[in-house]
Chain A
């Protein structure tokens, strides 16, 4: 196995907010008594203050501000012209899982490609359970001292070692399925380019394979979901990985639903449907009522594309461990479990909140069961549905996953604010999850791919750092290392 599957760390470049006014945790006020002495520029270590010529200041770059704990500029201003307060708008931004700190820190990483140094919490949220109550236990002194370049974050996806592609990805992370229709092209292409940069994958979701994705074929997973929208022999043959979507964490057991408004003429062509009509993917596969039926599906893919890896995406019912073993016996390469708190373009609130179990509970259940059955090392276990941060990814792996899939984190990197209006009217008001002509012009794929590459870069840095502190050479050593975790139990607020 090559140690450095990512030949060189892909290019990080500054990709600032596409909005004029960045939302920041702190607000910096400068009043009229400022004499333009430049003292604040001198003392600020993060570059909030910038003089614009000799007589005036440009607007403070508040999103960089470390906040009240620093206050260096305020304290050193001879005129008392500066003040720093917490932005009162913070209470409107974020929620229990994605706190305002997590949103802002993800923006920071997507902008700079670096781990935040401005005091923002970038690892855990405030949900009171799961990843937010799990800690990674670091030894005081790692057993071996490693240099960054000795540490690998790569994982193989074909653990059956059969005749299918021997795919390895540079990071234990790939992009979740989002169809053309549920998101726009700038988002899709941005995801694909970032996947290519990090030698990992993105997924088409259900809804077909857009021609602009062809240059990224080797980094695309194409999805076969219950509606079979956009599935053609050609799409199956193009790719290295084909994913069967049985269910989705946000709406397990409910199938899929593209709202009529989002079914634009361009979307409809790919889906071979009538524009403007709502498109339902039924639940479940009407041709699958047993593991044997499922195997028939897998065989069907393998007949068309013998080298393809087959991934099976399921949600997390009580018997998720049985489903996983069934997938193994049907000769799938990847079992992808999507937890109940996963993201979505549209789902009934009752489903998002209540149906199926959170991913944290499901991972060790499946991992232990596959181990007990003696097949754990023959299948790749991928977890998703609530992986927000690099630490979440590391914790999921320590719980027993080989890697993770992210979706919402990518959306947030593209400046999603989690307003949850992806489904209403013309779709995402911020141009991410929409194919509305006017709204999608808000950004291009250069910007989106850079933001996503930057985010993955920061995650890579963090994963390497975690492994270094644990004295592990490879992320693969962390799989199922429950002893590296400390659990505090749920906290009900």
Chain B
């Protein structure tokens, strides 16, 4: 059993008042009652509010918990509430305000978001929202696993696996297992799909990845010397263009990634000449050819395939793009049918924005996921994309402190780790490795709909 993995969280306040969901509206005309509705606020938001002169906002929009007590109790009927238009504008059609806000909360507290009442969202939705995870009524592991008295392992292996072991006539092992790396959580830090990333962000991510003991991808040409304390977890990424000039980074690296092109195996062969224990990953676009190319790559002996969708989890170059979960499912099944799935590690990325996405994409057939946009979001990014147009960052990302930022990222990963354990515990699954492709522990909208229609049609 691997050593027990624990992520230490440190509550880390935001630098800016987070954009609140509520607009607290207050009319003039206070009657000056002795028993004031403001004073009886359960959450003391009227007492604790302040004016944030930097952002020109009233912090009540963030503090208010929307219980409507003051609205209903004020004798002068001075209060009302509306949705903060700033909140609605956060993010985009995929990276919705709720994803951003919950990521901020987790980065600040390191805690699992908990609330009362039922689920407030729609019945089902696009993408990951069209599947549910299963639970098991009576099997272990149990809540004991969730509380740590039993062990639920989230670790996975990166690298290639032998299909079988061979022995000589004397019974001695003759096959030599290829190198693998065990990571304690099925996550890799990805290269950002867009946006500006400065040195301090990079250092903070590396520091966090190092602490978490998970790999972090970095374009080889972006490497700088201050990153050297974190070399162990860095996974330099090479393209045909950068290979020659940057290949010195291969020395000592445990992992490296190569952007797919037809003669990719030649580069990997060269890289292995420089570093024989290197584990190579091929970064492959999730498009209509991804399944066939993956199959070929496995036959060529590749160790890790990193399939990347666009930043919203959609298929590349398609008029009617499929979603990452469906593509990963198809590819996984194709490789299983060819009996080669177990030989390779598959990492996927694109649109992984919530802990549940991680669990779901693994259920669909990935070994692990690479996360990207959530990392700057943990550092208060609002996904406004101003940086892509060369405009200033509303949360001054250029000024972040490395220690602060790495704590926020560790907190977020701590919260994700706990949530992964929660859903695995409910499913009765003890190991993340066994979660992979385990669609028997998932429910898909299309299947449930079909069964439902059949069930109510038959007499």
**Which residues of A are interface residues toward B (Cβ below 8 A)?**
17, 19-23, 87-89, 91-93, 95-98, 126-130, 132-133, 246-247, 250, 252-255, 280-286, 288-290, 294, 314-315, 317-319, 323, 340-358, 360-361, 364-365, 368, 385-386, 399, 408, 416-426, 428-430, 433, 439, 482-483, 485, 487, 489-490, 492-493
Contact = CB atoms under 8 A, between A and B. Distances in A.
B29 to A, nearest CB: 14
25 contacts: A89-B81, A96-B122, A246-B138, A247-B137, A250-B118, A252-B135, A253-B135, A253-B136, A254-B143, A280-B147, A282-B142, A284-B137, A284-B139, A290-B138, A317-B135, A340-B132, A343-B117, A343-B118, A350-B112, A353-B119, A355-B423, A361-B451, A408-B118, A418-B117, A439-B42
A282 B143 contact: yes
Interface string B262-296: 00000000000000000000000000000000000
Contacts of A424: 65
Contact of A408 (B72, B117, B130, B452): B117
Nearest to B69: A429
Interface stretch (B181-189, B215-223, B441-449): B441-449
B65 A419 contact: yes
A354 B22 contact: no
A438 to B, nearest CB: 9
Interface string B345-380: 000000000111001100000000000000000000
Contact of A355 (B114, B120, B132, B459): B132
A20 B147 contact: no
Contact of A357 (B120, B130, B132, B459): B132
Given A347-B114, A353-B121, A430-B67, 9 more contacts: A21-B71, A132-B123, A253-B428, A254-B143, A282-B143, A289-B138, A317-B135, A346-B114, A424-B65
Interface of B: 22, 42-43, 65-69, 71-75, 77, 80-83, 102, 112-126, 130, 132-139, 142-144, 146-147, 354-356, 359-360, 419, 422-423, 425-428, 440, 443, 445, 448-449, 451-453, 455-459
B422 A254 contact: yes
Contact of A490 (B73, B118, B449): B449
B114 A349 contact: yes
A430 B65 CA distance: 12
Given A356-B134, A425-B43, A21 B72 contact: yes
Contacts of B68: 23, 93, 417, 419
Which 10 residue pairs of A and B lie closest in terms of their CB atoms, listed nearest first?
A129-B123, A422-B116, A253-B426, A19-B72, A253-B135, A364-B455, A95-B120, A429-B67, A127-B123, A482-B456
Contacts of B136: 253, 317
Nearest to B84: A92
Contact of B72 (A20, A280, A361, A419): A20
A92 B66 contact: yes
Contacts of A92: 22, 66, 81-83
Nearest to B416: A350
A356 B136 CA distance: 9
A323 B138 CA distance: 10
Nearest to B41: A429
- Tell me which of B22, B135, B142, B453 has the highest count of chain A C-beta atoms within 10 A of its own C-beta: B135
A361 B360 CA distance: 20
Contacts of A493: 122, 125
B113 A349 contact: yes
Contact of A352 (B118, B443, B445): B118
A255 B322 CA distance: 36
- Tell me which of B147, B425, B427, B448 has the highest count of chain A C-beta atoms within 10 A of its own C-beta: B448
Nearest to A253: B426
A382 to B, nearest CB: 16
Contacts of A426: 42
Given A253-B426, A253-B428, A95 B121 contact: yes
Given A341-B118, A430-B67, A130 B123 contact: yes
A258 to B, nearest CB: 12
A317 B133 CA distance: 9
A96 B135 contact: no
B115 A423 contact: yes
Given A20-B75, A96-B120, A128-B123, A364 B143 contact: no
Nearest to A286: B142
A326 to B, nearest CB: 9
Nearest to B80: A89
B139 A289 contact: yes
B72 A127 contact: no
A425 B48 CA distance: 15
A303 B313 CA distance: 56
A354 B423 contact: yes
Contact of A420 (B74, B115, B445): B115
Contacts of A422: 115-117
Nearest to A283: B143
A359 to B, nearest CB: 11
B360 to A, nearest CB: 8
A482 to B, nearest CB: 4
Contacts of B117: 343-344, 408, 416, 418-420, 422
A288 to B, nearest CB: 6
A195 to B, nearest CB: 22
Nearest to A483: B459
A148 B119 CA distance: 37
Contact of A96 (B83, B123, B457): B123
Given A348-B114, A348-B419, A351-B426, A284 B449 contact: no
B83 A19 contact: no
Given A129-B123, A252-B426, A360-B452, A423 B116 contact: yes
Contacts of A286: 142
A22 B72 CA distance: 6
